[in-house]
Amino acid sequence: MKDAEAGIRGSYWLETAPPVEPAPPPSGDFSVEVAVVGGGIAGLSTAWELVRQGHEVAVLEADRLAAGVTGHTTAKLTALHTLIYDHLRRTRGPEGARLYALSQSEAIRHAAGIVAELGINCEWEEAAAYTYAQNPGRVAELRAEARAAREAGLPAEFVTETELPFSVAGAVRVSGQAQFHPRKYLLALADDLRRRGGAVYERTRVVGLTEGEPCVLKTDAGVSVHAEKVVVATHHPVFDRALLFTRLSPRRELVVAGTIDEALAPRHMHITPEQGTRSVRSAPYGDGKRLLLVTGEHFTPGAADVDKRFARLSAWADEHFPGLTITHRWATQDNDSTDSVPLVGPLHHGSRHSYVATGFGGWGLSGGIMAGRLISDLVGGREVEWSGLYDPRRLGSVAREGMSFLKHQAQVARHFIGDRLPAPTGPRPEDLAPGDGAVVRHGGHHCAVHRDESGRLQAVSATCTHLGCLVAFNRAEQAWECPCHGSRFAPDGRILQGPAVKPLEKRDL
């Protein structure tokens, strides 16, 4: 975080993984059996499974491996996803809930097997997962969740005691889950993938996909990649003929982390839907300490009050864990699907050679590992019990998605219409303080104007290159963010996060 308080660092996972040289982009056109676009947990897991099964695979990552969303998570591997099972039981039936529990649990077991098989040092720890509430009014909801999760096949129980240093009204507990260091795990997976003959290209943004036999991908350097099969694992899909963006809501979430005495640190993973979500886990640190990670304060990208949200989260962590010294803070981004189930499978109704993995909500680690196995099975022509549950082509029934679909569409429509109206009177460029940014109307265009710490003004188009919503400035993270589908850009217009694949155009003031 650029303007974090003095001495506060960014993602702990990025800071503490071994440094590795970036893999160079491809030097020219090439052909491959399967091209995987995206080097996060879903893309690397898919690529690794495929290589292990004997396929020829290339991973194309726009930035660095496991440094985007995966490098900014809380790295909990659990099948207990806050309050999902009672919802699934009602919307997808008991069988849907069972398949969800089974597929997510299998993913965790599978990852444990990979860690053991490859001898990966990724601070793997078995832990229980808890969803708790302090408000007695939510106990009935927790009891229903415990019952639904148990019926779905998880070792779930309702409890009233946890290891947290404050009392709870109740909690759902599921044992046998895990937590780990996600970047160490994925860098080891990438090493093994290369050893088995797979190729990895970093700083290689894919900007075009023509489906066919073969499919042709175009990179931002003009390289063509011919592939029999393509997997789009870019968090929010950068290629989207099925208009999945209408079914995904972007959500940012903040993380604060700091050291705490080992004896005071919780060893299990905890989350509450209260207070805009609070999630707590700890990780090995050394010197008689553990690193406590607290996540929460979710918001739509482009919110103006991120500093206040960080302050509120830090205050909560301080109050609930006296003795905590905050050393790191960062933010992560999730995509919630409108029916709360990830979208993993064929990219669209007519696709025979292209696949997608997205919409993991806040649960992309177990979800990404599950997606890797599922897509590798689909590529290999194998039947998977839970492929129908996650099939992106299931979407289309607004009845099933109900209010969350309509809410998301209304919000996006507001941006599409509202963003085309003249900008309300706001700050003038000359009034911006160092580190501030604002959208202003200039020469008939919306301009995103930013003043850097040296006082220099720079302007780029405020129109998101994905589908044309207006970006807004996140001062705490020094980024232009699009509220519609979550694209993020640096103050100079460079892409930080898709689905946009083109930077914001420069503007003269």
Interface ranges with ligand FES (CB under 6 A): 464, 466-469, 482, 484-487, 499-500
> What's the min distance (Å) between Cβ of 477 and ligand FES?
16
Cβ distance to ligand FES smaller for residue 67 or 500: 500
Task: Report the alpha-carbon distance of residue 456 to residue 441 in Å, rounded.
Answer: 19
- Least Å distance, CB 417 to ligand FES, is 13
Min CB(236)–ligand FES separation in Å: 7
Q: Tell me how far, at minimum, the Cβ of 348 lies from ligand FES, in Å.
A: 18
Shortest spacing between CB 21 and ligand FES, in angstroms: 31
SS3 334: strand
Query: Nearest Cα to 106, choosing from 53, 57, 45, 34?
Result: 45
**Do 179 and 281 meet the contact criterion of CB atoms below 8 Å apart?**
yes
Instruction: State phi, psi for 60 to the nearest 5 degrees.
Output: -115, 110
Could you tell me the smallest distance in angstroms from the CB atom of residue 462 to ligand FES?
11
User: What stretches of 18-92 adopt beta strand conformation (E)?
Assistant: 30-37, 57-60, 76-77
3-state secondary structure 361-372: ECCHHHHHHHHH
CA 415 to chain centre: 23
Distance separating alpha carbons of residues 98 and 105, to the nearest angstrom: 10
Between 212 and 468, CB nearer to ligand FES: 468
Question: For ligand FES, which is the closer residue by CB, 207 or 467?
Answer: 467
Task: Give the residue among 230, 299, 245 at the shortest CA–CA distance from 466.
Answer: 245
Give all strands (DSSP E) within 106-161, no chain letters: 125-133, 156-159
| CB 487, min distance to ligand FES, A | 4
CB of 472 to ligand FES, least distance (A): 11
Sequence letter at residue 447: C
Task: Provide, rounded to whole angstroms, the least separation between the CB of residue 13 and ligand FES.
Answer: 25
- Amino acid sitting at position 448: A
Whichever of 26 and 359 has its CB closer to ligand FES, that residue is 359
Decide whether 268 or 466 has the Cβ nearer to ligand FES. Answer: 466
Buried b (16+ CB within 10 A) or exposed e, 70-104: bbbbbbbbbbbbbbbbbbbbebbeeebbbbbbbbb
Report yes or no: 373 and 231 within 8 Å, Cβ to Cβ: no
Nearer to ligand FES, 423 or 467 (CB): 467
Cα atoms in the Cβ-side hemisphere of radius 13 Å centred on 78: 32
Minimum gap (Å) between residue 468 Cβ and ligand FES: 6
The CA–CA distances, whole Å, from 246 to 250, 412, 489 equal: 11, 9, 21
103 vs 487, beta carbon nearer ligand FES: 487
Close Cβ partners of 375 (under 8 Å, ≥ 6 residues apart): 46, 49, 231, 344, 345, 355, 357
**Whose Cβ is closer to ligand FES: residue 84's or residue 496's?**
496
Of 479 and 500, nearer to ligand FES (C-beta) is: 500
The separation between the first and the last C-alpha atoms of the chain, rounded to the nearest angstrom, is 27
Nearer to ligand FES, 181 or 415 (CB): 415
Residue 324 or 495: the one with the smaller Cβ distance to ligand FES is 495
SS3 405: helix
Return the exposure string of 158-174: e unless at least 16 CB atoms fall within 10 Å of the residue's CB, then b.
bbeebebeeebebbbbb
Nearest approach, Cβ of residue 498 and ligand FES (Å): 8
Residue type, 281: R
Nearer to ligand FES, 86 or 334 (CB): 334
Rounded to 5°, the CA angle 209-215-221 comes to: 50
CB of 341 to ligand FES, least distance (A): 22
